[in-house]
Structure 1
Amino acid sequence: PETDFWVSQLADLSVIGALNSGSRVVDYHDGDCGSNNSQNCFNQGFTVPPPPQQGGRWPCGQLTAKGIAMMRLKGQLIREKYCNFISDIDNVTQVHVQSTNIRRTIRSAQSLLAGLFPEHFVNVDADNQLSSSGELLPAIREVLVCHQAHGLAFPDGLDRQLFAQICDYDAWLWHQLYGKMEFCRASFSAGVQRIYTYLSGIPEGTTTHKLSLFSAHDNSLVAFANALQLQVPRVIPPYGAMLIFEVFRHRVTGEFYLKTLFEDDEVTFARDLTLRHVLIFHRHGDRTPVLTSIGSKVQQTHEETDFWASKVATPEQIELLQQTAKTIGADPSQPPTIRPSKESQFPYGLLTQKGVEHMTAKGRKFRERYGDFMGGNVKTEDVHVLSSSVPRTIESVQSLLRGFFYEGQNTQIKVPQFYVHTYTHNVLAPNHPLQVFNEIELIVHDDVVSLRSKIERGAMEKLSLHLRECLGVPEDQPLSWTAVRDALTCREAHDWPFPEGVDQKIFEQVTVYDTWLWQRLYHRKGFCHGAFKDGVKEIYAYLKSVVNNQKEVAKLSFFSAHDNSIVALLGALQIDVGAQLPEYGTAVTFEVHEDVATHEFYIKPLYEGEVVSFVGHHNDPFCPFSHFESLALEFLTVKA
């Protein structure tokens, strides 16, 4: 039945005949087709091209009657837009048309011509140079687009909201793919070369047409836009979407200029952006356990305490870190705020030797990316550092600094000693009782009931009973999924055995569920605002100072915090990174770029080095500062 439906959407043969009567597919034709020529140009010699490809299993992949009508209307609109220019065309050889060797693009070009002119030729490219050679399977989005366009119902379980999300995500995937220059070059270099050769022939005098049409595909447009770094919306082009290049010549100087439009909106080539500042908001490195009490059957023994004591950072490591950066208060005149002290909690909750090494290595990675930006003559004021007042976050950022500014463990390049600022009010740690981690499941119980299926809830209840038995957690006490995850994470990282009855599969199940609980908790605006408004205010105010007075602030800043700090920040600024909790050393980076021409500022957010996006701005990795600011202020003005 669906096949019959799609057959019914195709154009009548009489419509196809009308298109063919006014244009013909040729490979090459050099006859004089001027309007003064009495001989019909169709009777002159031409080389017959290979038969067009169907572009899908018939009737799929064919231009519909709706598509023909739409493209003909597009032709009429172009004629209206360029009516004065087109009226000067008195010879059809002044119009060049090229299409891929796919039937729907040929029909589309013919339909455009039907709206523009009474008769024309369509030069087909037998090598299909305008069609990207990347094999992209349309799958869900393509099917839903066709269903929507022709009034077919979506499959059960799919609605318009989900359809929009699928389109957004697929568009992001396409632009990420074609944004990789190696892939784009391999799949579409022939198409770019063809159009470049054609346009460059205009100032050279080898291209004499006044109008040209190139009929291709959605991924042809995406590949072409990415190849030329055009600032077009990061969407998959809808049916009939057009890139238009208007070529102008200066009457006095004779210079040629190019104006580019996408769907009638002017677009520009790659902006001339310069990096002004890099803000790195990161989690501390590997540490010993914090939540040590998870049940009566899992108590800290002298053996385990000694084991963790052997893992904390060595005095030699700490000495090097202190040489790298000095811990101070809000300014150099104030003493640091460090609480709790290392001595009061030893050996728990402390940065390990492994953590120092890992964070130092991450610092070297950051140097690879931003070393040239910092240059060789680094001053103390070029780097701003703020840390949570906890020892492990202070030592973690000291490790990052050492990796960034030192060539090797003991070889110092000429850099000053930096300052690690701490505040009496620890703004970088979410402000809520530790007990919250024991009761997350109760706090977000309404989400558990409404968002998780009966099967999922049943599986977690079964796992909860098993863990209570293994760990010795009584029924009248909440099971702290976070405490269990934290203990198992530390044990796995240092090869300390899991409690009896707990294996790797259970650890993974606990991690997935606790990740979901955390995201539900910190994505509640009311809770997140109460817990982390001061942290968001600190980040926003600092980035605002960069934009307002960039010449007098540091070039690089580090904000050393915790895993829940990152989850809260992402929730507050509405940055989606998927279902994951920040691992040790995870970094959210905000690059601040300035447009050299307009002096507008942009924020480029990255999560572990991968570009992510703010809600409402998925089409461009460079987000206007004004959009970031609106999200920050929206969060900061939430009423508790």
Structure 2
Amino acid sequence: MRKLWTKTGIFVSVSIACGSALWWRQWKANGGSKSSPYQLKLVQVLFRHGARTPLKSIPDVLEAQWVPTLLEPPGHTHINHVVTDLDGGPRPPSPLEDSYRKKKLSGGVFAGQLTTLGMQQLYELGERLRRRYVQEVPFLSSTFCPNEVYVRSTNIIRTIESARCLVAGLFQQKQKEIVPILTTDAESEILYPNYHGCRLLRMLSNPRFKEVSLLPHMVADLKSIRSELGISAKSDVDFVLIRDDMVARETHGLPCPPALPAWRNRVEQRAVDMMFYCYQPSKRENLQLCVGPLLHMLLVNIDEKLQGTSSEPNRKLFLYSAHDTTLIPCLMALGIFDMKWPPYASDITLELHEHKRTKEPFVKVSYMGQDQLIPGCSGLYCPLQEFQNVLSAYSLNGDLYQSLCNSTGDSSKL
């Protein structure tokens, strides 16, 4: 396990180093922090949790052995933290987490648990953020300060633990106070498409999931892979499920069914095709309900920073610990989805800059450390008005979101 962890850590570190080197060259091209025309004002990071156990095993095939030693937390990922609701009260109940705890995998652990490797991945993401925002640009304090940093997670253990590990890497376990990790109840969660809490989203999405599974190429490929793997026609399986188990095994060096590697690329492609079909931007109302409230929150954070109306005027960093099903529709709304599944510990980072001379606000977006030119923006540093226009098609404030969610499907308001 340690050899696997070391090899994976080297690969991730090399990838991060390449991304940092590219950014450093771009930063130096602007003359460094002293001569750059922009001043960094706010950073928001939306990230996927680290490597985990599968949510479900592929039926009718030999299961991987998910043993407890794969979940041991590295000592350097520990911090003194507390998990609360959004108001600082007790952590709400988590029906989703409860459902995972009912699924014991072969080897003795539960479905959807963050592994040692996943904890290390988030720690390394924190280290990358430290290099950028503490060392290369002196933006954040080197020690965690709650008035500077806001940490929110979905109310699921793997994302909560991922947030903890990222903060440990970002601040090297140095903290002035306990780190609060905020969560909310399942009904009001906006950090993933909330099929439980939004009736209209459920009404719109269920038919699309059924439609995509009946497309001729999907049916043909799924029939072939069922035959190759020996999956019974009675077993409920799709490409997303197969991919999830396959990638979890590969990431942790556990054996896959012998016939599966030959299908790897096709499984990956079809799983992405399924998600794109269900979330695709041309179905505006569906994508709005998936990430509209989240996008609105990101824009509000920017506006409050610029207007000086934030309840925490010294806040510089928002961290949001979420899922692949969060990042995919966000990337689509931004127009930068590359038709590849977001890997474990991937991140979308939004930087708010102010032009030093004109005081105009700009937003710069990066994905996994690489700057992105957003369609509809006139440059990497996107004028805020242009950025707001890009997201206006999908952003939803809370009241409108709730009104639509409780409606019976009249999407003419969208």
> What is the TM-score with the length of structure 1 in the denominator?
0.50
Q: Which residue of 2 aligns with 1:331?
A: 87
Deviation at 1:351, TM superposition (A): 0.3
Helix, strand or coil at the partner of 1:588: strand
Q: Which has the larger radius of gyration?
A: 1
Counterpart Cα distance in 1 of 2:67 and 2:388: 43
Counterpart Cα distance in 2 of 1:499 and 1:180: 40
Q: Return the letter of the residue paired with 1:281.
A: L
Which of the numbers 335, 358, 362 marks the counterpart of 1:598? 358
Q: Which residue of 1 aligns with 2:156?
A: 390
Give yes or no for the alignment of 1:531 onto 2:290: yes
Counterpart Cα distance in 2 of 1:430 and 1:491: 26
Deviation at 1:370, TM superposition (A): 0.7
Which of the numbers 469, 481, 484 marks the counterpart of 2:239? 481
Helix, strand or coil at the partner of 2:344: coil
Q: Return the letter of the residue paired with 2:159.
A: T
Q: Which residue of 2 aligns with 1:621?
A: 380
Q: Retained in 2: the 8 A contact 1:364–1:403?
A: yes
Counterpart Cα distance in 1 of 2:290 and 2:263: 30
Q: Return the letter of the residue paired with 1:515.
A: V
Deviation at 1:310, TM superposition (A): 3.1
User: What's the C-alpha RMSD, in Å, of the aligned pairs?
Assistant: 3.4
Q: Retained in 1: the 8 A contact 2:145–2:175?
A: no
Q: Retained in 2: the 8 A contact 1:321–1:399?
A: yes
Counterpart Cα distance in 2 of 1:444 and 1:382: 44
Give yes or no for the alignment of 1:580 onto 2:340: yes
Q: Return the letter of the residue paired with 1:582.
A: P
Counterpart Cα distance in 2 of 1:181 and 1:394: 31
Q: 1:590 to 1:530 in 2, by over 3 A?
A: same
Q: Return the letter of the residue paired with 2:79.
A: Q
Q: 1:596 to 1:589 in 2, by over 3 A?
A: same
Q: Return the letter of the residue paired with 2:121.
A: H
Larger RCO (CA under 8 A, 6+ residues apart): 2
Helix, strand or coil at the partner of 2:272: helix
For each residue in 1:490-513, what CA deviation from the matched residue of structure 2 results, as whole angstroms up to 9, or x when unmatched? 11112222224222x311211022
Q: 1:546 to 1:578 in 2, by over 3 A?
A: same
Give yes or no for the alignment of 1:400 onto 2:143: no
Give yes or no for the alignment of 1:492 onto 2:259: no
Q: Retained in 2: the 8 A contact 1:438–1:483?
A: no
Counterpart Cα distance in 2 of 1:328 and 1:497: 38
Counterpart Cα distance in 2 of 1:331 and 1:228: 43
Counterpart Cα distance in 1 of 2:271 and 2:154: 24
Give yes or no for the alignment of 1:360 onto 2:123: yes
Counterpart Cα distance in 2 of 1:488 and 1:577: 22
Deviation at 1:477, TM superposition (A): 6.9
Structure 1: runs of 5 or more not aligned: 1-178, 186-225, 230-269, 407-411, 450-456
Q: Retained in 2: the 8 A contact 1:546–1:553?
A: no
For each residue in 1:189-222, what CA deviation from the matched residue of structure 2 results, as whole angstroms up to 9, or x when unmatched? xxxxxxxxxxxxxxxxxxxxxxxxxxxxxxxxxx
Q: Return the letter of the residue paired with 1:560.
A: S
Counterpart Cα distance in 2 of 1:353 and 1:439: 38
Q: Retained in 2: the 8 A contact 1:288–1:312?
A: no
Helix, strand or coil at the partner of 1:583: coil
Q: 1:437 to 1:288 in 2, by over 3 A?
A: farther
Q: Which residue of 2 aligns with 1:443?
A: 211
Q: 1:438 to 1:399 in 2, by over 3 A?
A: farther
Q: Return the letter of the residue paired with 1:353.
A: T
Q: Which residue of 1 aligns with 2:324?
A: 563
Structure 2: runs of 5 or more not aligned: 1-21, 104-108, 197-201, 397-410
Q: Retained in 2: the 8 A contact 1:438–1:479?
A: no
Q: Retained in 1: the 8 A contact 2:130–2:170?
A: yes
Which of the numbers 289, 307, 311 marks the counterpart of 1:548? 307
Counterpart Cα distance in 2 of 1:299 and 1:432: 32
* Seq. identity, %: 22
Q: Return the letter of the residue paired with 2:291.
A: F
**Aligned residues between the structures:** 353
Counterpart Cα distance in 1 of 2:213 and 2:258: 29
Give yes or no for the alignment of 1:290 onto 2:55: yes
Deviation at 1:400, TM superposition (A): 0.4
Q: Return the letter of the residue paired with 1:354.
A: L
Counterpart Cα distance in 1 of 2:300 and 2:41: 16
Which of the numbers 324, 342, 349 marks the counterpart of 1:589? 349
Q: Which residue of 2 aligns with 1:164?
A: none
Q: Which residue of 1 aligns with 2:269?
A: 512
Q: Retained in 1: the 8 A contact 2:122–2:166?
A: yes
